[in-house]
Structure 1
Amino acid sequence: MDDIYAIIPVSKFKNAKTRLSPFLTEEEREKLLKAMLHDVTDTLKKHVDRIFIISRDEEVLSYAEKLNLDTILEEENSNLNKALTQAMKYCRGKARKIIIVPSDVPLIGKTNVQMLIDASKSLDFIIVPSKGGGTNMIIMKPLAIRTRFEGFSYKEHVTAAERKKLNPQVHDSFFMALDVNTAEDLGEIMIHGEKTHTRKYLKELKVTVEPSRGSERLEVTRG
Structure 2
Amino acid sequence: MRILVPFEATDPKTRLDGVLDADEREDVARAMLRDVLDACLDAGHDPEVIATAPVEVADAPVTVDDRPLSAAVNARLGGAEPLGVVVADLALATPRAVDRLVDVAADADVAIAPGRGGGTNGLVIDHPDFRVDFHGVSYRDHVAAAREVGADIAVVDSMRLSTDVDEPTDLVEVLLHGEGEAAAWLGARFELDAGEGRVGLDRVG
Per the normalisation by structure 1, the TM-score is: 0.84
Q: Choose which of 100, 112, 123 in structure 1 pairs with 2:85.
A: 100
Structure 1 residue ranges without an equivalent (≥5): none
Paired residue type of 1:200: A
Q: Which stretches of structure 1, 4 residues or more, deviate above 4 A after TM superposition?
A: none
Per the normalisation by structure 2, the TM-score is: 0.91
Paired residue type of 1:211: A
Tell me how far 1:6 sits from its aligned partner: 0.2
**CA distance in 2: counterparts of 1:68 and 1:198, whole angstroms:** 18
Q: Choose which of 66, 71, 95 in structure 2 pairs with 1:82.
A: 71
Matching residue of 2:29: 33
Paired residue type of 1:210: D
Q: Determine if contact 1:98/1:142 at 8 Å carries over to the other structure.
A: no
RMSD: 1.9
Q: Determine if contact 1:126/1:168 at 8 Å carries over to the other structure.
A: yes
Matching residue of 1:202: 186
Q: Determine if contact 1:128/1:171 at 8 Å carries over to the other structure.
A: yes
Query: Are positions 1:23 and 2:19 aligned together?
Result: yes
Q: Structure 2 matches for 1:142-153, cutoff 5 A?
A: 143-153=128-138
**CA distance in 1: counterparts of 2:97 and 2:20, whole angstroms:** 31
SS at 1:112's partner residue? helix
Tell me how far 1:133 sits from its aligned partner: 0.6
Query: Are positions 1:221 and 2:198 aligned together?
Result: no
Please list the CA deviations of residues 98-141 of structure 1 after superposition, one character each: whole Å capped at 9, or x if unmatched: 11111000111175322332332222111011011100011112
Q: How many residues align?
A: 204
Please list the CA deviations of residues 173-195 of structure 1 after superposition, one character each: whole Å capped at 9, or x if unmatched: 1221111112211111111113x
SS at 1:172's partner residue? coil
**CA distance in 2: counterparts of 1:24 and 1:183, whole angstroms:** 9
SS at 1:88's partner residue? coil
Structure 2 residue ranges without an equivalent (≥5): none
Matching residue of 1:52: 48
Matching residue of 1:70: 61
Identity of aligned residues (%): 28
